[in-house]
Amino acid sequence: MLLVVALGCCLAVAALLRLLAATPALDIAATADAQGRLVLGAASSPELQPLAGRELKALGTPGGTLTPVDAALLHRTPRWQADDTRRTRALAQHQALAAALAGGEVALRLGDDPPLVVPARPRGLAGLGLLVWPLAMLALLLPLFGCVVLLARPGLHAGLFALVCLAQAVGLGFVAAESVRGLGLPVALQQLDLPVRLAVDALTAAATAHGFALAGRRAAAAALWLAAAAGVAAVASGALAPAWPWSMALCGALASVVLWAVRSSPGPAPDPQRRVVGRLALTAMGTWLLAHGVVALAAPQPALGHAAAAGASVAWTLFVVSLLMLVPFLSRSRRLLRELALLAGISTVAASLDLLFVAVFSLNTTASLAVSVFVALAVYAFARQRLLDRLLGTRRHTTDRIFELLYRAARDVQRRPERQLQRVAQLLRELFEPLEMTRTAPVPRESQVRGGGAELVVPLRAEGEDGRPGLAVQLRLAERGQRLFMPEDARLADRLVEQLRRAVAYDRAVERGRHEERQRLAQDLHDDIGARLLTLMYQAPTPELEDYIRHTLQDLKTLTRGLAVAEHRLGPAAAEWKADLSQRLAVAQAQLGWDCQVDEGLVLTVVQWSALTRVLRELVTNALFHGRASRVDVVIVLAGPALTLSVADDGQGRDPASWSHGLGLGGVRKRVKQLGGTVAWRENAGRGIVCEVRIDHFRDAD
């Protein structure tokens, strides 16, 4: 199908170029003065060069009746002629010129001199001019572009898109024909210009409205197409006259339907694709009004009317084609195409402003061009980023924001590796702000953009990783439905997931190294220091020293067991603390009161386990040996993220504010501060001292 379309387009373009090359013409430039008179300019052929600067009053076949001509002969775009009388006069002059050119000789009346007969020759391909070739190539490629879109994703919308591409290619063909060099065009193209190009504009607007508002309503779509066709037929046949305001009314009505269609939401959730095309349609509507306004203002001025019409025709057609080629690539983030489309829009504004300055302010060509270029460049320089943001509806991710979110996520994952997948999902939600995030299957190998940019699928865990099934999440409609997902988002998501995986792997490797080092230290303490203490215990000269060494061995045993264990959970750790304290108090003939309300499955870090173990031992030791307490009550409560530890005794301690904090109390303060908590001593209600430790973020403490 693509080859057939390519062959057909090549034949059509070749036929157009052949027709233009074979049409006889006068190889001479012409301009119009302020009174509307036609003035001949420079020519390439020797017989026409002496005619430069002469006023051309009439032309025709030698020996026949000459047809008066004026500035209307320079107007080659009937579709962009704002006055019906001038359009009719221009068509009559073009027909008279074509009839004379067909005979091989043209009689020209210059001023009041007798008619001068000059030969007419076909232009040939070399005489078409430089602008014809790029326009013809674009007219060749545009239908192929629409065909590729249709073949890639067959359906109603792609078919309408291909139809619009074909219609705009026809319009480009007329623009290419109007840009040829010299005097003389095929009469058929002049006669078909108004109905065909009006039909192209109406078809483009009707197809856009059909695709975005009436795709599921056949009756309404058929009524829209019939209304557009009837309007074109009525304007082209003269039933609705004058043609210019009625054609503008028809195109304006269809454009309003398009704006309503693409900007109205089909459901409760915003549609970013509809928002993007709505902004494009609004931009096109503004450019259309600007171009038509320039033509209407310049029409009463004979010296500018034909130039304004030609410039507006080329600028508007190229602008529509650039937007048309941009639409399929919006979800692919093709920066070059976006920049080209933006430059095309700025160029259209510059051309329209140039014509406007000449028409309204009577500036010369050089001054108006300089001012227009300056204004266009200023708009591009200062409004480029805002235009892109408004056009695409995207809020770009800054490096600082990405780093901040990734850093927080990595820190959280390092503290709690078991929450890796949940933290990755939370990071994606914070970064892209989707309207919806759900699990999906199957799990792709890498992140993918689907649904034309409406969905982003991110694999969180590969199939079989850690012996578990794969897991992927699907994000819909980024930034709360304000923009589409793009390939850059997929690559960013893959990199973020990989960075968090590396953070977890690094943390596991570090923890494994720490665990092996702790095991080595525990083994050395047990084999060396433990053996020596055991020898000293058997050689103790007094029972008191033997008991002291035995307690020291018990402390060493607890310490080495804690160092060797890979994971400390709060429940078993609390049981060990209770057993150790019970043994200490039993030797001192004191009672233990124990109240523990904690999450027994909470995993403690080595820092948390070591700090709490030493704090409890130090506080109980102080109560026994300094306060001479007969009872010690320990209360441990974990409420939410906060941990509260209270140690109360009935000893002889008083006025803790006057204490001098030595190594023991100083060590308690240091270890509690290391966990991010606070410690305070106060007198007990009856007798003794109460020490309260509070760690507000115990679950998040390092």
pLDDT at site 480: 77
Domain end (from 498, 530, 556)? 498
In this structure, the answer to whether residues 327 and 413 fall within a common structural domain is no
Element (H, E) at 342: helix 335-361
Q: Say if residue 414 is in the same domain as residue 492.
A: yes
Domain of 35? 24-122
Same-domain check for residues 415 and 489: yes
CA–CA distance, 206 with 274 (Å, rounded to integer): 16
Identify whether the C-beta of residue 518 lies closer than 8 Å to the C-beta of residue 563.
yes
3-state SS class at 459: strand
Are residues 605 and 679 both part of a single domain? yes
With beta carbons less than 8 A apart as the criterion, state whether 121 and 103 touch.
Answer: no
Q: Which residue(s) pair with 122 in the sheet?
A: 24
Phi, psi of 437 (to 5 degrees): -135, 120
* 474, 457 contact by CB (below 8 A): yes
Does residue 205 belong to any structural domain of this protein?
no
572 shares its domain with 668 = yes
362 shares a domain with 406:
no
* DSSP letter for each residue of 487-500: HHHHHHHHHHHHHH
Q: Is residue 10 part of a domain?
A: no
Same domain (yes/no): 414, 379: no
Q: How many domains does the chain have?
A: 4
Q: Is residue 266 part of a domain?
A: no
| Cα gap 648→590, rounded to integer Å | 13
pLDDT of residue 421: 80
Residues 443 and 349 in one domain: no
Q: CA angle at residue 641 from 640 to 642, to 5 degrees?
A: 95
- Among 384, 413, 429, give the residue marking a domain's end: 384
- 380 & 440 share domain: no
List all residues 6 or more positions away from 184 whose beta carbon is below 8 Å from its beta carbon.
23, 24, 25, 26, 97, 98, 101, 120
What pLDDT score was predicted for residue 268?
A: 46
pLDDT value, residue 702: 46
Residue 466 confidence (pLDDT)? 65
Q: Considering the domain boundaries, does residue 482 fall inside one?
A: yes
Q: Which of 547, 553, 521 is nearest to 534 (CA)?
A: 553
Q: What is the CATH classification number for the domain harbouring 621?
A: 3.30.565.10
Which residues lie below 8 Å from residue 146, measured CB to CB, with a gap of 6+?
161, 162, 163, 164, 165, 166
Residue segments in the chain with a per-residue pLDDT below the cut of 70: 261-278, 326-369, 380-398, 400, 414-415, 464-467, 507-508, 510-511, 514-515, 518, 526, 551, 554-555, 557-559, 561-567, 661-663, 700-702
Is residue 282 a contact partner of residue 463, using CB atoms and an 8 Å limit? no
| Same domain, residue pair 578 and 700 | yes
Tell me, yes or no, whether 477 lies in a domain.
yes
Residue 427 sits in the same domain as residue 360: no
Which of 322, 350, 384 is a domain's end point? 384
* Whole-number pLDDT of residue 453: 79
Cα–Cα distance measured from residue 580 to residue 554, given in angstroms and rounded to the nearest whole number: 9
List Cα–Cα distances, 368 to 353, 354, 361, 413, in angstroms.
8, 5, 9, 63
Using an 8 Å Cβ cutoff, are 54 and 156 in contact?
no
Instruction: Give a yes or no: residue 465 inside a domain.
Output: yes
Residue 16 lies in a domain: no
* 538 CB-side CA count, 13 A: 5
Q: Is 694 inside a domain boundary?
A: yes
Taking alpha carbons only, the member of 328, 335, 325 closest to residue 138 is 325
Residues 379, 432: one domain?
no
Give the burial class of 95: count Cβ atoms within 10 A of its Cβ; 0-12 exposed, 13-18 middle, 19 or more buried.
middle
